[in-house]
Amino acid sequence: MTDDLVKRLRDKVEASRIYDDDEEILDEAAHHIETLEYVMKDDAKWLAAYHKWCEMNGCAPSSSDLIAARKTLEGEDE
């Protein structure tokens, strides 16, 4: 859904060369959405790693445990 929104914003930027202010705002909005998506996906990976650790060990992980669990999950996704 947001990929479509980013594409529409980028298309609008290409189509609206007359209004430089609008172009800058639309481009900034598209960039902001892409940044938020990246952070959201990264957060989801950390949450999945946290859940995996808790599931495997029955307790909350340390930060090093969480990093190891995330690496394990990323290996499973590839």
Per-residue pLDDT at 78 = 47
End-to-end CA distance of the chain: 24
Backbone torsion region of residue 66, taken as left when φ is above 0, otherwise alpha when ψ lies between -120 and 50, otherwise beta? alpha
Q: Which of 43, 75, 72 is nearest to 55 (CA)?
A: 72
Rounded to two decimals, what is the model's pTM?
A: 0.53
C-beta of residue 45 within 8 angstroms of C-beta of residue 28: no
Per-residue pLDDT at 2 = 64
Pick out the chain residues at pLDDT < 50: 78
